[in-house]
Structure 1
Amino acid sequence: MKSYSSKEDLIAAIRLSYTKFIQEFKDIPASLGNKRSDLVDKTPAEMLAYQLGWIALLLSWDEQELAGVEVQTPTPNYKWNELGNLYQDFYRQYADLSLKELQVKLDKSVVHLIDWVKSLDNQDLFEPGQKKWATTKAMWPVWKWIHINSVAPFTNFRPKIRKWKKAVLD
């Protein structure tokens, strides 16, 4: 996994990986947003919903902690070994939105994520144990949680959406 030496490097990675990912959606017709392909495990709409769900969760953990609420990760309803069910909730939560609406919503979520990263000081971002919600057995620093829930999936879903487009659009 990539490591970051500065807040600016992390923000640049978020922006670059997101830009590359979201550009892949420009030539997908709205009518095909929920079309399945046997070659890819998620539809385009599900890929966007997945990202929306994780960014919202990540931001909510910090908001809850700042409000004095004891945070249960990933959610009070799901444990870490139940992520498949959590993903299904993400898909249901955003199921009524069009592909374009999902993209607009994700654009705003990424801006919110970057604004949050900008608001964190280097200690909160790079030193483990600074946020109660981030004190799992692994003791990851916050930057790692951000990377795992934004940069990594944006990067990993890009080949998936390309594979989906090749199977469905060609």
Structure 2
Amino acid sequence: MQEYDSKEALIAAIQKAYTLFDKEFDDVPAEEINIRIKEVDRTPQEMLAYQLGWLNLILGWEQAELAGKKVITPSPDYKWNQLGPLYQQFYNEYRGYSLQDLRTLFKQSMEKWCAWLEQLSNEELFTANRRQWTVTNANWPLWKWVHINSVAPFKTFRAKLRKWKKHRP
């Protein structure tokens, strides 16, 4: 996993990975976002829904904790060994949206994500145990949660989307 030496480096990595991933959708036909192919495990719609789901879920954890509420991760309805059904919930939540709407929502979520990170201190980002929700499943500093739910999947899904475009009917 990539390490970061500052909040600015983390945000720059997120923005770069987001931009490259989002740009891949420029030549995806809007009417084909739900086409499934055997070579790729998610449709373009599902890739965007997955990202929207995780970005918003983590922002929700943060808001709840700061409001003094108990945070249940990944959600009150799902345990960590039930991620498949959680992802299905994400896909269903964003199923009726157009490609343009999904991209707009993704951009807005990224703006919120980066604004949240901007207001955090380096200590909050890079020191373990600063948020209770980061301790629940893995005792990681916050930056690792950020990385595995933004930079890492943006890169992975970019490659999957390129493969999807290459093999689509």
TM over 0.5: yes
Q: What is the rounded CA distance, in whole Å, between the counterparts of 1:36 and 1:99 in structure 2?
A: 15
Structure 1 counterpart SS, 2:25: coil
Residue 167 of structure 1 and its aligned partner are, at CA, apart by 0.7
Give the whole-Å Cα distance in 2 for the aligned partners of 1:137 and 1:12.
27
The equivalent of 2:21 in structure 1 is 21
Q: Which amino acid aligns with 1:55?
A: L
Which runs of no fewer than 5 residues in structure 1 stay unpaired? none
Letter in 2 for 1:8: E
Partner residue in 2 for 1:36 = 36
List gaps (5 residues or longer) in structure 2.
none
> Given that residues 21 and 158 in structure 2 are in contact (C-alpha distance below 8 angstroms), is that contact kept between their aligned partners in structure 1?
yes
1:70 maps to which residue? 70
Once superposed, what is the RMSD of the aligned Cα atoms?
0.9
Contact 2:39 2:163 in 1 (8 A): yes
User: Hey, what's the Cα distance between the residues in 2 that align with 1:102 and 1:137?
Assistant: 29
1:139-154 correspondence runs (5 A): 139-154=139-154
Is 2:110 the counterpart of 1:110?
A: yes
Q: Give distance in 2, aligned partners of 1:88 and 1:137.
A: 21
Q: Which residue of 2 aligns with 1:11?
A: 11
Compute the displacement of 1:60 (Å).
0.5
Q: Distance in 2 between matches of 1:147 and 1:21?
A: 15
Equivalent runs, 1:20-169 vs 2, <5 Å: 20-136=20-136, 138-168=138-168
Moved over 2 A (4+): none
Per the normalisation by structure 1, the TM-score is: 0.97
Report deviation, 1:137.
5.3
SS at match of 1:25: helix
Amino acid at match of 2:148: I
